C-alpha cells in the first residue's frame, strides 16, 4: 500500500479542515486569555494574608490539577442532563469545551503566575508602598506587569499545550481539526494521509503563535533596549555655590520618635530609641553596621513596624491609632498608604521600577494617589528631572542609566509626592566612588532649599558639611547626638571619634 501524497496535499484546500482550525484557534485563545485572568486571581489569593482566600485557591488548584481534562469535558457536556437549566450555556459543545478547559488550565496558570509573583523582589513592593500606593495599585501597576513578563515563556508554552489539548474536544463532537480528520478517514480509510494533514495543521498553528509569543516577549522586555553613545553622556548636576546656614535643633517638630523598640526573633535591634527632626532640618544618622540605623529610619514610615514606643510625623501617629477603648491598633493598609504619601523614601539600591521609563517612574505615584492629574504629574516630573540634572533622560529605562543617575531619579520620584520629610537609607553605598559626588550634590542642594531630611549614611563628609544634627547609633542605642562640630570635634564622644577615624582610614 503506497502513501497518497496528492490526497494529503489536497486536504489543505478542504474548507472543513480550515473551519476546524478556526475553531481550534478561537477555543485556544479564549481559554488562554480567560484562564490567565482566573490564574492571576487565584495566584493573588494564594499569596493573600487572608486564610480563607488562601485555602479556597489552594483547594481549587489541587482539585483541577488532579482531574484529567477528558473527564472535565465529558462532565461539562453532560451536566444539562442533570441540570436542564444549564442547557442554555452548556448545550453547545464549544461552550462546554471552553468552560472545561478554563477550569483545567486556570489551576496551572495560577501556579505559573504565582511563580512570577514570587520572582518580583520585595524591594519593588517596598518602593511602591513608600510612595503611598495601595495594595491594589501596586499589584496592578508594579508587581503584575513584571510578574507577567517573567512568566511569559511558561505562559506561551502553556498556550501550545492548550492548542494541542483542543483535540480532546472531539469526544464531545466539537468539529475541530481532529474530528474533521476522523470523519474523513472513516469515509475513505486513508488514515495516515489524513492524520498527516491534521498534524501539519497543528504544527502550522503552533509555529504561528509561537512567533507571536516571541514578538510579545521582545516588546515587553525593556532590558533589550540599548543605550546609544549619546545616551550614556553624563549630565552635569546643578552645583550649589552658596554656603548653607545651619538649622538649629529646635522649632516645629516634623518627626518625633519616642522609646521606639524593634525585635527580630530574639534579637532586639532598636532599644528605646528617641529621635526629633525639626522643620527644615537635616538629621544624619551614623554608626557601625548592625547598629540599627536602617531599621530605625524604616520605622519612620512603617516599612518596618515597631514593637514599642511611638512615631509621629506632623503630629500624626505612624502605623497605629488609638481605638475607642484606648488600645493601640494597627492602621489599615489604606490609612498607611495615605500617611506614606507625606514621607519620601530613597532606598540604598534605588528600587526603581524596571518596566517603567524614567518619566513614568516619577509620574506614577502622583497620579495613582490623586495628588496630580496626568499633565500636572508630567510637568512636575520634567521639572524635577531638570533639578537633578537628568532632563535629557526622561524616556530612558533604569537599566540604561548609571547608578548615580538611577539614584537621582529615585530622589526625584520621592520629591514628586511633595513630602514634608525625606528619608534616605544609605543613598550612596551602592554606588561606585566616582558616582557618589553627583548624588551628594543633589542632597546638598535639597538641604539648601530647606527640605527636612533624615539620612542614614557612612559618608562622613555629608555628615560634616550638610547635617544640622548628627546621631550616632550603636547596638540599637543612640550613643551620642549633637551638631557636627560637637560630634566631630575634639571634645566629642570617644567611641564616636574611634568610629570616625576607622571610617576615614578605610575610604
Q: What residue numbers bound the domain in which 25 lies?
A: 5-221
Q: Is the pLDDT of residue 304 over 50?
A: yes
Rounded to an integer, the average pLDDT of 466-475 is 92
Domain CATH number, residue 214 = 1.10.3720.10
Domain assignment of residue 350, yes or no: no
Return phi, psi of residue 211, to 5°: -65, -40
User: Do 150 and 43 belong together in one domain?
Assistant: yes
> Quick one: pLDDT at residue 225?
67
Buried b (16+ CB within 10 A) or exposed e, 426-439: bbbeebeeebbebb
How many H helices and E strands in the chain?
20, 12
| Average confidence (pLDDT) over 416-443 | 89
- What single-letter DSSP state applies at residue 167? G
Q: CATH number of the domain that 319 lies in?
A: 3.40.50.300
Domain co-membership, 96 together with 151 = yes
Q: What is the pLDDT of residue 418?
A: 95
Do residues 161 and 170 make contact, with C-beta atoms less than 8 angstroms apart? no
Same domain, 212 and 302: no
Tally Cβ neighbours within 10 Å of residue 124. 19
What is the three-class DSSP state of 386?
Answer: helix
Residue 438 pLDDT > 70: yes
* pLDDT bucket at 235, cuts 50 / 70 / 90: low
In which band, very low, low, confident or very high, does the pLDDT at 506 lie, cut at 50, 70 and 90?
low
Same domain, 467 and 328: yes
CA-based nearest residue to 422, from 400, 401, 449, 395: 449
The last residue of one of the domains, among 168, 200, 221, is 221
Quick count: other Cβ atoms within 10 Å of Cβ 54? 14
Average of pLDDT values for 247-265? 90
Residue 43: the pLDDT is 95
Query: At a CB cut-off of 8 Å and minimum separation 6, what does 470 contact?
Result: 283, 284, 285, 286, 463, 481, 482, 483, 484, 487, 488
Mapped onto helix, strand or coil, the DSSP state of residue 343 is strand
CB 495 within 8 A of CB 479: yes
pLDDT at residue 239 in the model: 47
Number of domains in the chain: 2
Please give the model's pTM, rounded to 2 decimal places.
0.85
Residues 195 and 326 in one domain: no
In a domain, 326, yes or no: yes
pLDDT of residue 347: 94
pLDDT at 473: 93
- pLDDT for 308-335, tens place per residue? 999 999 999 998 887 777 777 888 889 9
User: For residue 29, is it within any domain?
Assistant: yes
Residue 53 and residue 110 in one domain: yes
Q: Are residues 206 and 259 in the same domain?
A: no
Residues 266 and 197 in one domain: no
- Asked if 267 and 231 count as a contact pair (C-beta separation under 8 A), the reply is no
Q: Which residues, other chains included, contact 62 with Cβ-Cβ below 8 Å and sequence gap of 6+?
A: none
User: Which three cell numbers, joined as nine digits, stand for 159?
Assistant: 498556550
The model's pLDDT over 35-64, given as tens digits with 9 standing for 90+, comes to: 999 999 999 999 888 899 999 999 999 999
pLDDT, position 503: 77
Pure H helices in 427-483: 433-448, 460-465
Last-in-domain residue among 198, 221, 244: 221
Whether residue 276 has pLDDT greater than 90 = yes
Hey, what's the cell of 449? Answer: 532649599
User: How many CB atoms sit inside 10 A of residue 248's CB?
Assistant: 12
Look at residue 241 and tell me if it is in a domain: no
pLDDT digits 0-9 by tens, 126-166 = 999 999 999 999 999 999 999 999 999 999 999 999 999 99
Average pLDDT over residues 466-471: 92
Please provide residue 88's backbone torsions phi and psi, each rounded to the nearest 5 degrees.
-60, -40
Identify whether 131 is part of a domain.
yes
Query: Does position 346 have pLDDT exceeding 50, yes or no?
Result: yes
Give the 3-state secondary structure of residue 394: coil
Q: Are 175 and 21 in contact (CB under 8 A)?
A: no
Domain membership of residue 353 (yes or no) is no
In a domain, 61, yes or no: yes
Task: Verify that 423 and 474 share a domain, yes or no.
Answer: yes
Q: How many residues does the chain have?
A: 507
Considering the chain, what is the average pLDDT of its residues? Answer: 89
pLDDT computed for residue 240 by the predictor: 42
Is 406 a domain residue?
Answer: no
**186 and 303 part of one domain:** no
pLDDT band per the 50, 70, 90 thresholds, residue 227: low
Cβ-based burial of 319 (10 A; exposed 0-12, middle 13-18, buried ≥19): buried
Q: What pLDDT is stored for residue 91 in this prediction?
A: 85
Residue 307 pLDDT greater than 60, yes or no: yes
What share of the chain has pLDDT > 90, as a percent? 64
Residue written as cell 540605623? 293
pLDDT of res. 295? 95
Q: Are residues 79 and 167 in the same domain?
A: yes
Clarify whether residues 217 and 257 are in a common domain: no
Amino acid at each position: 500500500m503506497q502513501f497518497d501524497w496528492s490526497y494529503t496535499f489536497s486536504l489543505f484546500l478542504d474548507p472543513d479542515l480550515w473551519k476546524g482550525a478556526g475553531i481550534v484557534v478561537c477555543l485556544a485563545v479564549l481559554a488562554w486569555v480567560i484562564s490567565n485572568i482566573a490564574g492571576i486571581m487565584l495566584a493573588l489569593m494564594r499569596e493573600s494574608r487572608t486564610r480563607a482566600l488562601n485555602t479556597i485557591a489552594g483547594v481549587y488548584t489541587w482539585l483541577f490539577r488532579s482531574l484529567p481534562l477528558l473527564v472535565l469535558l465529558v462532565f461539562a457536556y453532560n451536566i444539562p442532563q442533570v441540570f436542564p437549566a444549564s442547557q442554555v450555556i452548556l448545550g453547545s459543545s464549544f461552550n462546554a469545551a471552553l468552560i472545561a478547559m478554563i477550569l483545567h488550565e486556570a489551576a496551572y496558570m495560577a501556579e505559573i503566575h504565582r511563580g512570577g509573583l514570587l520572582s518580583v523582589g520585595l524591594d519593588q513592593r517596598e518602593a511602591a508602598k513608600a510612595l503611598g500606593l495601595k495594595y491594589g495599585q501596586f499589584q496592578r501597576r508594579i508587581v503584575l506587569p513584571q510578574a507577567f513578563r517573567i512568566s511569559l515563556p511558561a505562559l506561551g508554552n502553556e498556550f501550545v499545550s492548550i492548542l494541542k489539548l483542543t483535540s480532546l474536544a472531539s469526544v464531545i463532537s466539537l468539529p475541530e481539526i481532529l474530528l474533521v480528520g476522523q470523519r474523513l478517514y472513516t469515509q475513505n480509510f486513508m488514515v495516515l494521509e489524513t492524520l498527516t494533514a491534521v498534524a501539519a495543521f497543528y504544527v502550522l498553528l503552533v509555529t504561528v503563535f509561537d512567533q507571536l509569543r516571541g514578538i510579545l516577549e521582545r516588546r515587553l522586555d525593556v532590558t533589550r533596549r540599548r543605550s546609544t553613545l549619546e545616551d550614556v553622556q553624563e549630565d552635569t548636576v546643578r552645583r550649589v555655590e552658596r554656603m548653607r546656614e545651619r538649622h538649629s535643633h529646635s522649632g516645629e517638630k516634623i518627626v518625633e520618635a519616642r522609646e521606639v523598640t524593634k525585635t527580630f526573633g530574639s534579637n532586639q535591634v532598636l532599644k528605646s530609641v528617641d529621635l526629633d527632626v525639626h522643620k527644615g532640618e537635616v538629621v544624619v544618622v551614623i554608626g557601625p553596621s548592625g547598629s540599627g540605623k536602617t531599621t530605625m529610619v524604616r520605622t519612620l514610615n512603617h516599612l518596618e513596624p515597631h514593637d514599642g514606643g511611638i512615631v509621629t510625623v506632623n503630629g500624626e501617629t505612624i502605623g497605629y491609632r488609638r481605638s475607642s477603648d484606648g488600645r493601640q491598633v494597627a492602621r489599615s493598609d489604606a490609612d498607611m498608604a495615605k500617611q506614606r504619601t507625606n514621607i519620601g523614601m530613597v532606598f540604598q539600591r534605588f528600587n526603581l521600577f524596571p518596566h517603567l521609563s524614567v518619566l513614568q517612574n516619577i509620574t506614577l505615584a502622583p497620579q495613582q494617589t490623586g495628588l496630580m492629574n496626568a499633565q500636572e504629574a508630567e510637568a512636575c516630573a520634567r521639572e524635577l528631572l531638570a533639578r537633578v540634572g537628568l532632563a535629557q533622560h526622561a524616556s530612558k529605562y533604569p537599566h540604561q542609566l548609571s547608578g548615580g543617575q538611577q539614584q537621582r531619579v529615585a530622589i526625584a520620584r520621592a520629591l514628586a509626592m511633595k513630602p514634608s520629610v525625606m528619608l534616605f537609607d544609605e543613598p550612596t553605598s551602592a554606588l561606585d566612588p566616582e558616582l557618589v559626588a553627583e548624588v551628594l550634590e543633589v542632597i546638598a542642594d535639597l538641604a539648601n532649599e530647606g527640605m527636612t531630611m533624615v539620612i542614614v549614611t557612612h559618608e562622613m563628609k555629608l555628615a560634616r558639611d550638610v547635617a544640622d544634627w548628627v546621631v550616632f547609633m550603636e547596638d540599637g542605642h543612640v550613643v551620642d547626638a549633637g551638631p557636627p562640630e560637637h560630634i566631630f570635634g575634639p571634645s566629642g564622644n570617644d567611641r564616636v571619634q574611634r568610629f570616625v577615624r576607622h571610617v576615614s582610614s578605610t575610604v
